[in-house]
Amino acid sequence: MFKKILIANRGEVAMRVIFACRELGIKTVAIYSEADENSLHVRFADEDVCIGPARSADSYLNVPAVISAAEITGADAIHPGYGFLSESAYLAEVCEACHIRFIGPDPQVIRLMGDKARARRVMKKAGVPILPGSDGPLDSEERALKLAKDIGYPIIVKATAGGGGRGMRVVRNPSELPNAVKTAQREAEAAFGVPDVYIEKYVESPRHIEFQILGDQFGNVLHLGERECSIQRRHQKLLEESPSPALTEKMRRKMGGIVIDAAKAVQYTNAGTFEFLMDPAGHFYFMEANTRLQVEHPVTEMVTGIDIVKEQIRIAAGEKLSFKQGDVTFTGHSIECRVNAEDPETFTPSPGVIHVFSVPGGPGVRVETLAHSDCTISPYYDSMIAKIIVHGRDRAEAIARMRRVLEMTVIEGIKTSIPLHLKILDDPDFQAGRVSTSFMERFLARPRSNSSGGRLAEAV
Ligand code: MV4
C-alpha cells in the first residue's frame, strides 16, 4: 500500500480523498494555489505545497508543478480527483515516467475514451449499443450529407475531443448541415485544439443514465449500478440519484453485464463511468466513458455501501478487488444536490464570504464540502461549494429527507442554488420520476406559482 498520496485537486473532492487516506492510514499531501491558502484541504493534509497563483492554468493544471510537489514530498501516488488534470493522459504518462502511481486508468485507456469517435467504434465492437452514426471523423461534406440522409434527421454533430456538451450542434434538416459542421469544427478547434467532428442520430429528450464500474489489475471488473443524471442545466448536473427511477432490476443486470464486458475489452482499471442515453422507449445507447472519479459518486456509495475512493486507492496499489459482483447489493435510494454559490434565478456566480454555514445532520444525511463559517468562496474556481447527499429506504423517503435538510440549511453571505433544489423536489414530474435532459429547460420556462410573484424565494 502507498505511504503518501498527493492530491492534485482542491475543494470538497480534495477533502473526500483525505477522508479515504486517513481511514487507510496513508499520509496526504495537499497542493494549493495562492487563493486556497486557508482552505480545509490544506489544513487537514499532513503536508502542503503551494504550486502557483490563483488561476487554474498557473496552478492546478500545471503538470510540472504538480509532479515537482510530489517529488519534493516523496509522494508515491497522485489522486487527481475530478476536473483539472483528472482525465489527462499526459499527467498519467508523466507519473509513469517518474515512478509515481497515477490513481486512475492507464494513459492509453484515458486517451482512447478522450477520443469520442474512437470510443464509439471500440464500444460497438465490444457489443455495446450505440446510435447510428459515422465510424470516425467526418471527411467531406458530401459524405456527411449522404450519411445523415441514411440515418435520418434530426442528427447531432459532436466534437471527437468533446464531452460536457461543448462543440455540439443539432441538425434538423440537410440545409443546416454544412454550417453546423463548420461551426462545430471551429468550436472544437478553439476549445480542444482538435477540429474533428462526427455525427450521430439525435435522440429527443433522453435520460442521462450512467453506470459506475471498478476494475482491478487482474482483469476483474464489477459494476455498482447506475445513476440518474438527467436533471442538469447547460450540461451542469444539479441533482443526481441512484437507482434510476427508469430501471428495473432486469435492465440493471443486463446493462451492468454490457458495461463489464466493455470495460474488460479495453482492459479498464480503476474507477470509471459509462454514460448512456436512454430514449423514451427505454433503449440504451453508449454516449461516453469518464475515466475519473465523478462528482456524483456518493449516491452510488450510499446505495452499495462501497467506498469508491478507497477502492480506487487499493486498485492502484495493486490489490485485487476483495468482493464479487454477487456481493454488490443495492439498498434504498440516494439523492445528491449540488449546492452552487450562484443566484438561483439568474445562475450568475455569487462568490464572497460565507458568514454562517450550517447543514443539519440526522439519519441518512451526508455532506461533502469545502465550506465552513467565515470561509471565502473564490471567483476563480467552480461554483459548487457543497454536495448534500441523502439516503432513504425508498425514493419518497429520500425526497422528504432532502427537503428537510435543505429547508434547515443556513448559508449566509452568498446566494446558493438551494431554493432551486427545493423547487425541483416539489415538482410533480420529478416526484413521479418523469425526468429527462429537457426537464430543467421546461421547468425554468414554466411560470412559477409562488408568493414572490413567479420568482424564487430569497436564498436563505
Ligand atoms: C446526445 C443527445 C442526443 N442524441 N447525443 C450532451 C453532452 C454530451 N456528452 C452528449 N450530449 C448529448 N448527446 C445524441 N445522439 C443529447 C445530449 C444532451 C445531453 C446529454 C446528457 C445530459 C444532458 C444533455 C443535455 C443536452 C443534450
Which of 176, 201, 226 lies at the terminal end of a domain, its last residue? 201
Q: Is 437 near ligand 1, meaning CB less than 6 Å away? A: yes
Q: Report yes or no on 108 lying in a domain.
A: no
Please say whether the beta carbons of 169 and 157 come within 8 A. Answer: yes
CATH of the domain at 58: 3.40.50.20
DSSP 129: -
- Closest-CA residue, ligand 1 atom 5, reads 202
Q: State the CB neighbour count (10 A cutoff) for residue 275.
A: 18
Assign residue 425 the CATH number of its domain.
3.30.470.20
Whole-number Å distance, alpha carbon 307 to ligand 1 midpoint, is 29
pTM listed for this prediction: 0.96
**Judgement on whether residues 399 and 420 belong to the same structural domain of the protein:** yes
Report the number of distinct structural domains present in the chain.
3
In a domain? residue 116: no
Residue 156 in contact with ligand 1 by CB distance below 6 A: yes
Q: Is 145 domain-assigned?
A: yes
Same domain, yes or no: 187 and 296: no
pLDDT value of residue 453: 36
Q: Are residues 216 and 289 in the same domain?
A: yes
Could you tell me if 193 and 259 lie in one domain?
Answer: no
* C-alpha to C-alpha distances, 166 to 92, 157, 191, nearest whole angstrom: 24, 11, 8
Find out whether 330 and 393 touch, Cβ atoms under 8 Å: no
Average pLDDT by consecutive 10-residue portion of the chain (460 residues)? 98 98 98 98 98 98 98 98 98 98 98 97 97 94 95 97 84 97 93 94 98 98 98 97 98 98 98 98 97 98 98 98 98 98 95 97 97 96 98 98 98 98 98 98 81 40
Please give the pLDDT value at position 176: 97
83 with 62, same domain: the answer is: yes
Cα distance between residue 451 and residue 192, in whole Å: 45
230 and 192 within one domain:
no
Residue 242, helix vs strand vs coil: strand
pLDDT for residue 456: 46
Which residue, 329, 321, 336, is CA-closest to 304? 329
pLDDT score, position 448: 66
Does residue 117 belong to any structural domain of this protein? no
Cell of 259: 458495461
> Which helix (DSSP H) or strand (DSSP E) does residue 91 occupy?
helix 89-97
- Residues 154 and 266 occupy one common structural domain: no
172 with 86, same domain?
Answer: no
CA of 230 to the centre of ligand 1 (A): 10
Start-end of H helices in 101-248 = 107-114, 116-125, 141-151, 177-192
Last residue of a domain, one of 152, 186, 201: 201
Predicted local confidence at residue 166, as pLDDT: 78
Of 143, 170, 201, which closes a domain?
201
Nearest residue by C-alpha to atom 17 in ligand 1: 165
Whole-number pLDDT of residue 449 = 54
Does the residue 121 lie in any domain?
A: no
CATH of residue 194's domain is: 3.30.1490.20
The reply to whether ligand 1 has any atom less than 6 angstroms from the CB of 286 is: no
Residue 112 placed within a domain: no
Angle value at C-alpha 222, between 216 and 226, nearest 5 degrees = 130
b/e per residue 138-152 (b: at least 16 CB within 10 A): beeeeebeebbeebe
119 in any annotated domain: no
Enumerate the active-site residues.
Answer: 292
Rounded to whole angstroms, how far apart are CA atoms 47 and 427?
46
For residue 147, the model assigns a pLDDT of 96
381 and 233 in a common domain? yes
Domain co-membership, 219 together with 249: yes
C-alpha cell at 343: 443566484
Nearest CA to ligand 1 atom 8: 165
DSSP string, 378-440: -TTS-SEEEEEEEEESSHHHHHHHHHHHHHT-EEESS--SHHHHHHHHH-HHHHTT---TTHH
Ligand 1 center from residue 371 Cα (angstroms): 32
State in Å: Cα 87 to ligand 1 middle. Answer: 20
Find the domain containing 412 and state its range: 207-459
Residue 283 DSSP label: -
Q: Mark whether 162 and 212 lie in a shared domain.
A: no
Instruction: Verify whether ligand 1 is closer than 6 Å to residue 77 (CB atom).
Output: no
Same domain, 284 and 347: yes
Residue 111 counted as domain residue: no
Residue type, 330: F
